[in-house]
């Protein structure tokens, strides 16, 4: 094994023992190098066991049963809600709504708050680096209600142009919705400053925390943000579960989202009274096992330490950028390591990202290729697609070396 001159803050070898999938071979004799955590993270045994335990020993629907299993399942589901509140420092568990994913969380805001409070010609400010999940819901609303969309531009280095943002704020927007960390550029945006500026202009704020919450400590009270969305599966938890945090006063004044069971207080044949927050927004049987999995995942990353995870990823990305620079024809997009998280999206002269990813897979290296649900961003850089390697707490510097070796193989293959 190559000895690296830099050390990271985590005992990664110990952490890797918790992730059974990292032991598998993807082809005979070829072990997995998983560099796709921005798309979804792997799950530790603790999370898998917590969900398995629910199904084996207290599987039940929540909230309307009085039998022991129902009480246990309800307690576990509501305790997961409290755990999420603690994790992002929300003042109350009532401000935590479980959804399907980040996308549904943002759609929930657009379809309830947006439809109620945004009128024709009202301005919504987004950024040029948004994921489609924070673009399309507002485009739908623009088509439906005639709201106006403006975008904070980015520099060629992938940094938001806050001077332009300041100018845009003079138009008194109703809403500013932005990603805290880009899933392509890796840029970590100055969220607190953006929120503060928006509030001074009288706007409501939304943070897309899909990439930030899993990778560094996020405190909604310190940020003073009005809404924050993230997904369980990007923080060592299961798929099918998302979180929406909202300030209680806003949530109370929003109409319900989906209609059905649990979201009601009273139902007559022709009318209904909505339930209280957060149940008002949780129609139907929720993702119970998944909430238990998320609870366990948050325990897991907290035990490792969010600050240590962030420091580890900072060292990983610094090393990865340094090594990627060595490979002729590789161009990483986005800012310098100090402004970004563990994401390196790059082009390779003359070779399509799908071909890069396909050849890397032969060496067991899992990277993502495409537009990563950020087509406008790729258009801005005038490139159709990128190859993206991303890192999490279980990745090693050796894996970066393997990636670099793999890229030389790609070059030979197509060169």
Partner 1 sequence: MDDLYRELIIDRYKNPHFRGSLEPHDISFEDDNPLCGDHIRIDLRINGNERVSEVAFDGHGCAISQATADLLAESIVGKSLDEVKQISKQDILDMLGIELGPVRLKCALLSLKVLKAGVYGLGEASDELVEN
Distance in angstroms (rounded) separating the CA atoms of residues 43 and 50: 11
302 sits near partner 1 (criterion: CB under 8 A): no
CB of 250 to partner 1, least distance (A): 15
The DSSP-derived string for 163-215 is HHHHHHHTT--SEEEEESB-TTT-BB--HHHHHHHHHHTT-EEEEE-TTTTTT
Task: Select from 3, 5, 64, 338 the one that contacts partner 1 (CB under 8 A).
Answer: 64
65 sits near partner 1 (criterion: CB under 8 A): yes
Smaller CB distance to partner 1: residue 186 or 246?
A: 246
Distance in angstroms (rounded) separating the CA atoms of residues 246 and 228: 7
CB of 73 to partner 1, least distance (A): 9
Smaller CB distance to partner 1: residue 5 or 266?
A: 266
Task: Select from 163, 276, 326, 405 the one that contacts partner 1 (CB under 8 A).
Answer: 276
Q: Quick one: tokens of 25?
A: 């071979």
CB of 65 to partner 1, least distance (A): 7
Return the range that interacts with partner 1 (CB under 8 A); candidates 33-41, 63-71, 155-163, 378-386: 63-71
Distance in angstroms (rounded) separating the CA atoms of residues 92 and 14: 34
User: Pairing state of beta strands 227-231 and 33-34?
Assistant: unpaired
Residues with Cβ within 8 Å of 4's Cβ and at least 6 positions away in sequence, in order, are 319, 397, 398
Beta bridge pairs of residue 344 = 389
Task: Select from 6, 17, 21, 75 the one that contacts partner 1 (CB under 8 A).
Answer: 75
Return the range that interacts with partner 1 (CB under 8 A); candidates 123-131, 230-238, 272-280, 358-366: 272-280
Distance in angstroms (rounded) separating the CA atoms of residues 185 and 319: 16
70 sits near partner 1 (criterion: CB under 8 A): yes
Distance in angstroms (rounded) separating the CA atoms of residues 226 and 160: 21
CB of 289 to partner 1, least distance (A): 17
Q: Which of 32, 39, 373, 404 is catalytic?
A: 373
Of residues 214 through 253, those in contact with partner 1 by CB under 8 A are 248
CB of 291 to partner 1, least distance (A): 13
Of residues 78 through 107, those in contact with partner 1 by CB under 8 A are 78, 92, 94
- Helices assigned H by DSSP within 25-87: 45-53, 68-87
Q: Is 236 a catalytic residue?
A: no
Return the range that interacts with partner 1 (CB under 8 A); candidates 8-16, 45-53, 71-79, 98-106: 71-79
Distance in angstroms (rounded) separating the CA atoms of residues 401 and 235: 25
User: Cα torsion at 90, 96, 99, 103 (round to 10°)?
Assistant: -30
Return the range that interacts with partner 1 (CB under 8 A); candidates 69-77, 176-184, 197-205, 366-374: 69-77
Beta bridge pairs of residue 123 = 148
List active site positions.
373
Q: Name the residues that contact partner 1, by CB under 8 A.
A: 63-66, 70-72, 74-75, 78, 92, 94, 248, 264-266, 275-276, 279
């Amino acid at each position: 094994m190559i000895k690296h001159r830099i050390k990271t803050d985590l005992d990664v070898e110990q952490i890797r023992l918790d992730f059974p999938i990292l032991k598998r071979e993807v082809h005979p004799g070829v072990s997995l190098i998983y560099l796709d955590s921005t798309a979804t993270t792997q799950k530790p045994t603790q999370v898998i066991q917590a969900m398995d335990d629910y199904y084996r020993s207290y599987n039940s629907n929540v909230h309307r049963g009085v039998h022991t299993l129902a009480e246990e399942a309800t307690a576990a589901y509501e305790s997961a809600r409290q755990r999420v509140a603690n994790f992002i420092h929300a003042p109350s568990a009532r401000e935590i709504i479980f959804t399907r994913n980040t996308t549904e969380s943002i759609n929930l805001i657009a379809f309830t708050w947006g439809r109620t409070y945004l009128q024709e010609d009202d301005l919504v400010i987004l950024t040029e680096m948004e994921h489609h999940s924070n673009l399309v819901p507002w485009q739908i609303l623009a088509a439906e209600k005639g709201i106006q969309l403006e975008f904070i531009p980015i520099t060629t280095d992938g940094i938001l142009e806050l001077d332009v943002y300041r100018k845009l704020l003079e138009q008194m927007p109703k809403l500013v919705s932005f990603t805290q960390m880009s899933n392509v550029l890796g840029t970590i945006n100055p969220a607190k400053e953006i929120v503060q500026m928006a509030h001074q202009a009288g706007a409501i704020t939304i943070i897309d925390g899909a990439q930030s919450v899993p990778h560094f400590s996020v405190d909604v009270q310190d940020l003073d943000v009005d809404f924050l969305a993230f997904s369980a599966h990007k923080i060592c938890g299961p798929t099918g579960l998302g979180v929406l945090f909202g300030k209680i006063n806003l949530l109370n004044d929003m109409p319900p989202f989906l209609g059905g069971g649990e979201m009601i207080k009273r139902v007559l044949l022709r009318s209904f009274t909505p339930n209280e927050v957060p149940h008002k927004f949780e129609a139907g049987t929720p993702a119970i096992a998944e909430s238990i999995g998320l609870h366990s995942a948050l325990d897991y990353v907290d035990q490792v330490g969010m600050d240590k995870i962030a420091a580890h990823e900072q060292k990983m990305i610094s090393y990865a950028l340094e090594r990627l620079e060595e490979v002729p024809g590789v161009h990483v997009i986005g800012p310098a390591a100090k402004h970004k998280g563990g994401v390196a999206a790059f082009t390779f002269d003359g070779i399509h990202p799908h071909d890069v990813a396909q050849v890397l897979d032969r060496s067991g290296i899992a990277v993502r290729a495409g537009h990563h649900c950020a087509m406008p961003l790729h258009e801005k850089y005038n490139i159709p697609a990128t190859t993206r390697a991303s890192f999490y707490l279980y990745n090693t510097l050796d894996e970066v070396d393997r990636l670099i070796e793999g890229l030389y193989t790609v070059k030979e293959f197509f060169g």
